[in-house]
Chains A and B, each alone.
Chain A
């Protein structure tokens, strides 16, 4: 086993928390059951890692095996990366997509290898018809850097792919080209959507964030929601603004629904608008150039936070459509100009 490969595997295993180690090793399926049973996972981490490296050496792990382990680690820790969304399109009158996984993998690899001699490409298919692609980039003269790979998750027979953000921007056009050609598309465009939560991005892009549908078989009709004003309260106590509270609840429910919102961390609005003011003759109103500013809303769970604004009394209902259109427009980056 190559020293660089051994080092790579060692660093990858060191990243894995002890309580996930057996799960990930099983998913990797490289070391056999018997081999794994010889390892004492209760030791100090360094000793466990040493033992595992020894076993990998015995089995002659290759760079590909190591790359696969890295993919599995990333699949378990998706939230550590920030994901961008890309949309591809076909030309008019294109043939029906007869997707062949083998052909796709070969084509993708060939395109990258032809352009940059040194590149490591690995694939792992998942059950939801998605293929995880890991690319470690090198140049004509340097070996691939295994510690700064790019991940692409491509849903076959759809125009969408998700790519991990990386600082190495110069390879993005080549990656786009490889993906487009291998999947028999024409063009690729980056969507204005970005988040750490791959599942949420998938739900937004494929419009599947709500999996409840009204049918005639639904158990109960839409129930009156209790506003948390309990029935146990004294009947002599009446909320004076109950009408307003009900209105806010109704509007919030119509806008956001009853289902859990997809998870995003921010929404960013770039404004380029002229200053609007009621006061005449203010200096800003006379300004010919539009004002430029950037507004960013951040939250651990932005959409749930927006949903709770009106019921909490912090904002008026209905909320601005610029905020509520995020899942529908599949964007969390906006550019607003004067019409």
Chain B
């Protein structure tokens, strides 16, 4: 860069001087900025150090305390094997508690506290068979409400909740248990009929979602000459697993012999008093017995 020469002719020298002045100005502003930046850096540096202290001091204190606690424990129990035994004992206790919590399933009603309320689990059973489980997640607020659930849509959960949830939660849970257990029981009977005794049915089993209206035709001797029976089972009590109304009719042949009439009436009574699959089991046994007698 050419040095400013004051001996140059006028126009050039002004340019030279002004340029020089500009350079000097820039230099001073740069150095000022630099010193400002440095000062800021220093200030921030001290701030960072202060914050680090704020963070590290409690941390150090914590480590210190942990160390001293460990030392204390070590002093109190110098024996390592005793520590291990305690650990094992605690683990065993934990397993025990877990097992007890699992066993609660067999009581039919169990629950677990959640962050906003409780999640109730209803395990249904029928005749000693453990069937489906249903959950209801309750939010404990005023008013108490159901957040979500896995109860089938055709169980009148809303009705039961409207009646009891706000006033008597025990009643709500027991009522719901009743409905769900009864539904599970009816469903179990209908499923067993369809799967185990299909041979005795002459047509498909008609059922509805709640399994409270069942309609089917059956024969005592499949492939035989007898007329099939038509049965229609109504379960008007949704908390029961036995039907409230049973109608058995005989297809074909208006004039029924007395023996057929007796059979028909006895079937009606059977369906009213015993679970469906058990009635069919007795039919199947009877059939076997008769076959063995004939042959």
A residues in contact (CB < 8 Å) with B: 95-102, 129, 155-158, 160, 206-211, 213-217, 222, 254, 328
Residues of A within 8 Å of B101, CB to CB, are 216
Indicate if the CB atoms of A129 and B116 lie closer than 8 Å: no
Indicate if the CB atoms of A213 and B150 lie closer than 8 Å: yes
Indicate if the CB atoms of A99 and B210 lie closer than 8 Å: yes
Residues of B within 8 Å of A207, CB to CB, are 146-149
Indicate if the CB atoms of B154 and A208 lie closer than 8 Å: no
> In the complex, A175 Cα to B213 Cα: how many Å?
26
Indicate if the CB atoms of A156 and B208 lie closer than 8 Å: yes
> In the complex, A101 Cα to B147 Cα: how many Å?
31
In-complex Cβ contact of B210 among A157, A208, A217 (8 A): A157
State the Cβ distance, B194 to closest chain A Cβ, in Å. Answer: 15
> In the complex, A118 Cα to B85 Cα: how many Å?
84
Indicate if the CB atoms of B148 and A210 lie closer than 8 Å: yes
For B210, the closest partner residue in chain A by CB is A157
Is B284 in contact with chain A by the CB < 8 A criterion?
A: no
In-complex Cβ contact of A206 among B112, B116, B153 (8 A): B153
Q: A98-B213, A98-B234 are in contact. Are A129 and B154 (CB under 8 A)?
A: yes
Interfacial residues of chain B within 190-247, with CB under 8 A of chain A in the complex? 206, 208-210, 212-213, 215, 234, 236-238
Indicate if the CB atoms of B116 and A97 lie closer than 8 Å: no
> In the complex, A149 Cα to B292 Cα: how many Å?
60
10 A-B residue pairs with CB within 8 Å: A99-B209, A99-B213, A129-B209, A156-B209, A207-B149, A208-B148, A210-B148, A213-B121, A216-B102, A254-B115
> In the complex, A285 Cα to B146 Cα: how many Å?
41
> In the complex, A254 Cα to B104 Cα: how many Å?
28
Nearest first, the 8 closest Cβ-Cβ pairs linking A and B are A157-B154, A213-B135, A216-B101, A129-B209, A99-B208, A210-B148, A214-B119, A206-B153
Is B114 in contact with chain A by the CB < 8 A criterion?
A: yes
Interface centre among B110, B116, B137, B209 (most CB of A within 10 A): B209
Residues of B within 8 Å of A100, CB to CB, are 208, 213, 215
State the Cβ distance, A246 to closest chain B Cβ, in Å. Answer: 15
In-complex Cβ contact of A208 among B98, B149, B213 (8 A): B149
Q: A98-B212, A98-B236 are in contact. Are A211 and B206 (CB under 8 A)?
A: no
Chain B interface bracket (under 10, 10 to 19, 20 to 34, 35 or more): 20 to 34
Q: A100-B208, A216-B112 are in contact. Are A156 and B236 (CB under 8 A)?
A: no
Indicate if the CB atoms of B154 and A213 lie closer than 8 Å: no
Indicate if the CB atoms of A158 and B236 lie closer than 8 Å: no
State the Cβ distance, B216 to closest chain A Cβ, in Å. Answer: 13
Interface centre among A101, A213, A214 (most CB of B within 10 A): A213
Q: A208-B148, A208-B150, A216-B101 are in contact. Are A96 and B238 (CB under 8 A)?
A: yes
Q: A209-B148, A210-B148, A216-B101 are in contact. Are A101 and B112 (CB under 8 A)?
A: no
Indicate if the CB atoms of B154 and A155 lie closer than 8 Å: yes
Interfacial residues of chain B within 233-279, with CB under 8 A of chain A in the complex? 234, 236-238
Mask for B97-114, Cβ within 8 A of A = 1, else 0? 010011010000010101
Residues of A within 8 Å of B212, CB to CB, are 96-98
Indicate if the CB atoms of A96 and B148 lie closer than 8 Å: no
For B148, the closest partner residue in chain A by CB is A210
Interfacial residues of chain B within 74-107, with CB under 8 A of chain A in the complex? 98, 101-102, 104
Indicate if the CB atoms of B137 and A213 lie closer than 8 Å: yes
Interface centre among B121, B154, B206, B234 (most CB of A within 10 A): B154
> In the complex, A158 Cα to B148 Cα: how many Å?
17
State the Cβ distance, A31 to closest chain B Cβ, in Å. Answer: 24
Indicate if the CB atoms of B236 and A157 lie closer than 8 Å: no
Interface centre among B147, B208, B234 (most CB of A within 10 A): B208
For A210, the closest partner residue in chain B by CB is B148
State the Cβ distance, A210 to closest chain B Cβ, in Å. Answer: 5
Residues of B within 8 Å of A222, CB to CB, are 115
State the Cβ distance, B190 to closest chain A Cβ, in Å. Answer: 13
Residues of A within 8 Å of B116, CB to CB, are 254
Indicate if the CB atoms of A101 and B208 lie closer than 8 Å: yes
Mask for B109-140, Cβ within 8 A of A = 1, else 0? 01010111001010000000000000101000
> In the complex, A220 Cα to B146 Cα: how many Å?
24
For B237, the closest partner residue in chain A by CB is A96
State the Cβ distance, B182 to closest chain A Cβ, in Å. Answer: 12
Residues of B within 8 Å of A155, CB to CB, are 153-154
State the Cβ distance, A153 to closest chain B Cβ, in Å. Answer: 12
Indicate if the CB atoms of B236 and A95 lie closer than 8 Å: yes
Indicate if the CB atoms of B206 and A101 lie closer than 8 Å: yes
Residues of B within 8 Å of A328, CB to CB, are 145, 147
> In the complex, A116 Cα to B114 Cα: how many Å?
55
> In the complex, A98 Cα to B244 Cα: how many Å?
12
> In the complex, A160 Cα to B237 Cα: how many Å?
22
Indicate if the CB atoms of A97 and B148 lie closer than 8 Å: no
State the Cβ distance, A252 to closest chain B Cβ, in Å. Answer: 14
> In the complex, A102 Cα to B206 Cα: how many Å?
10
> In the complex, A216 Cα to B110 Cα: how many Å?
10
In-complex Cβ contact of A213 among B115, B119, B145 (8 A): B119
> In the complex, A328 Cα to B146 Cα: how many Å?
9
Indicate if the CB atoms of B213 and A217 lie closer than 8 Å: no
Residues of A within 8 Å of B119, CB to CB, are 213-215
Contacts beyond the supplied A98-B236, A207-B148: 5 A-B pairs with Cβ under 8 Å: A97-B212, A157-B154, A157-B210, A213-B121, A216-B101
Residues of B within 8 Å of A102, CB to CB, are 206
Indicate if the CB atoms of B154 and A156 lie closer than 8 Å: yes
In-complex Cβ contact of B121 among A97, A156, A215 (8 A): A215
